[in-house]
Amino acid sequence: MDGAGQEFPFEPPVPGGAVEVAPGVLWMRVPLPMRPDHVNVYALGDGDGWTVIDTGLDTKTCRAAWDVLLAGPLEGRPVRRVVVTHHHPDHIGLAGWFQARGAELWTTRTAWLFARMHSLDVQERPTAETLAFWRGAGMETGVLAERAAGRPMNYADIVAPMPLGFRRVAQGEEVTLGGRRWRVEIGHGHAPEHATLWGVGHDLVIAGDQILPGITPNLGVYATEPDADPVGDWLASCRRLRAFARDGQLTLPGHRRPFLGVAGRLEALIADAEAAQQRLWDALAEPRTAAACFDALYGRAIGPAEYGLALVEAVGHVNHLRATGRAERVAGPDGEWLWRRV
Ligand SMILES: [Zn+2]
């Protein structure tokens, strides 16, 4: 099995277009101003309307992209329901916009709570806790000073206001969407309580960012929970979800292309994370900050655009070594945390 996930043998949809990946299931893309430069969204034909999976950001560009999709491939029929896989802005950003137009929001309880919490938490400067966290992680002093002085990207800048009220999707429940049955399986690590949907009596899997082809989902730690172990959470989810993989399933991810071979993909992702842990353990013969682990983890230069994500993921990896008893964390002289292997 190809460990990168065998890509579905169709080209991605053109802007404003859709590819029908299964009868009544449309794959579309909404552009993002970062890498990956798109988020996949899906529409399931539901009677006279649609169920939409994930949304893109609340930006002019994403809304304009939806206006074209709604008038084009969605034929002006109403979006009755939006299912959001997790609370990250590229997935939930326009949920409130759809709700304001009459759609119901379905997501996990934690995703909804996180989204509401972050949208109501607007900061003009990074909080003291965030600065302490960045310092702890070993952020370069120049980057730290620049960030401390500027307005951070706020969640509410790119996520539409979310009204009160949603429909919870819960672990193990079966739902009917687009005329098909699906079982909800909750994953963790990339985001807490990330919904995935596994076809019951059919071979489609809606994976969001829990399982991606070609790239590893970002497994970040933030000031909200500095000791979190997202790598451990995510590995546990990969192993659990592996049991539901069958030949013939077509997995619909949040980025890149739909792919076949979800079992092989999960195994490759687990193996990659374990190999990264080993490289990190080797590097931690000398005490290091998380920021000083980029070489060991990524083996390539990290540019300014990806520095933030690389840093929170590096903390994820050292935290996992610590959670599994293979490393310890000691305080450095300037508020930074140093990890060393044990
Ligand atoms: Zn995403």
DSSP 194-213: EEEEEEESS-EEEEETTS-S
Query: Rounded to the nearest whole angstrom, what is the distance from the C-alpha of residue 252 to the centroid of ligand 1?
Result: 13
> 21: helix, coil or strand?
strand
**Distance, CA of 95 to CA of 85 (rounded, Å):** 11
pLDDT per residue rounded down to tens, the chain (342 residues): 345 555 566 799 999 999 999 999 999 999 999 888 999 999 999 999 999 999 999 999 999 999 999 999 999 999 999 999 999 999 999 999 999 999 999 999 999 999 999 999 999 999 999 999 999 999 999 999 999 999 999 999 999 999 999 999 999 999 999 999 999 999 999 999 999 999 999 999 999 999 999 999 999 999 999 999 999 999 999 999 999 999 999 999 999 999 999 999 999 999 999 999 999 999 999 999 999 999 999 998 898 889 999 999 999 999 999 999 999 999 999 999 999 999
Query: Rounded to the nearest whole angstrom, what is the distance from the C-alpha of residue 229 to the centroid of ligand 1?
Result: 19
Query: Rounded to the nearest whole angstrom, what is the distance from the C-alpha of residue 201 to the centroid of ligand 1?
Result: 27
Residues 6+ apart with CB under 8 A from 265: 3, 4, 5, 211, 213, 251, 259
pLDDT recorded at residue 228: 98
Number of H helices, E strands in the chain: 11, 16
Longest CA–CA separation in the chain, Å: 64
Query: What is the pTM (predicted TM-score) of this model?
Result: 0.95
Query: Rounded to the nearest whole angstrom, what is the distance from the C-alpha of residue 341 to the centroid of ligand 1?
Result: 32
pLDDT recorded at residue 300: 87
Token pair, residue 133, equals: 């966290």
Query: Rounded to the nearest whole angstrom, what is the distance from the C-alpha of residue 330 to the centroid of ligand 1?
Result: 33
Query: Rounded to the nearest whole angstrom, what is the distance from the C-alpha of residue 282 to the centroid of ligand 1?
Result: 31
Query: Rounded to the nearest whole angstrom, what is the distance from the C-alpha of residue 335 to the centroid of ligand 1?
Result: 32
pLDDT recorded at residue 8: 65
Cβ atoms < 10 Å from Cβ of 18: 19
**Distance, CA of 224 to CA of 214 (rounded, Å):** 29
User: What Rg value do the Cα atoms of the chain yield, rounded?
Assistant: 20
Query: Rounded to the nearest whole angstrom, what is the distance from the C-alpha of residue 342 to the centroid of ligand 1?
Result: 35
Query: Rounded to the nearest whole angstrom, what is the distance from the C-alpha of residue 25 to the centroid of ligand 1?
Result: 20
Query: Rounded to the nearest whole angstrom, what is the distance from the C-alpha of residue 39 to the centroid of ligand 1?
Result: 6
Query: Rounded to the nearest whole angstrom, what is the distance from the C-alpha of residue 40 to the centroid of ligand 1?
Result: 9
Query: Rounded to the nearest whole angstrom, what is the distance from the C-alpha of residue 55 to the centroid of ligand 1?
Result: 10
Query: Rounded to the nearest whole angstrom, what is the distance from the C-alpha of residue 221 to the centroid of ligand 1?
Result: 16
pLDDT recorded at residue 2: 43
Query: Rounded to the nearest whole angstrom, what is the distance from the C-alpha of residue 143 to the centroid of ligand 1?
Result: 25
Distances in Å between the Cα of 187 and the Cα atoms of 30, 51, 55, 170, 235 are: 24, 21, 19, 11, 10
Query: Rounded to the nearest whole angstrom, what is the distance from the C-alpha of residue 300 to the centroid of ligand 1?
Result: 22
Query: Rounded to the nearest whole angstrom, what is the distance from the C-alpha of residue 299 to the centroid of ligand 1?
Result: 23
**Number of residues assigned to the chain:** 342
Query: Rounded to the nearest whole angstrom, what is the distance from the C-alpha of residue 329 to the centroid of ligand 1?
Result: 30
Query: Rounded to the nearest whole angstrom, what is the distance from the C-alpha of residue 210 to the centroid of ligand 1?
Result: 9
pLDDT recorded at residue 1: 38
Query: Rounded to the nearest whole angstrom, what is the distance from the C-alpha of residue 278 to the centroid of ligand 1?
Result: 27
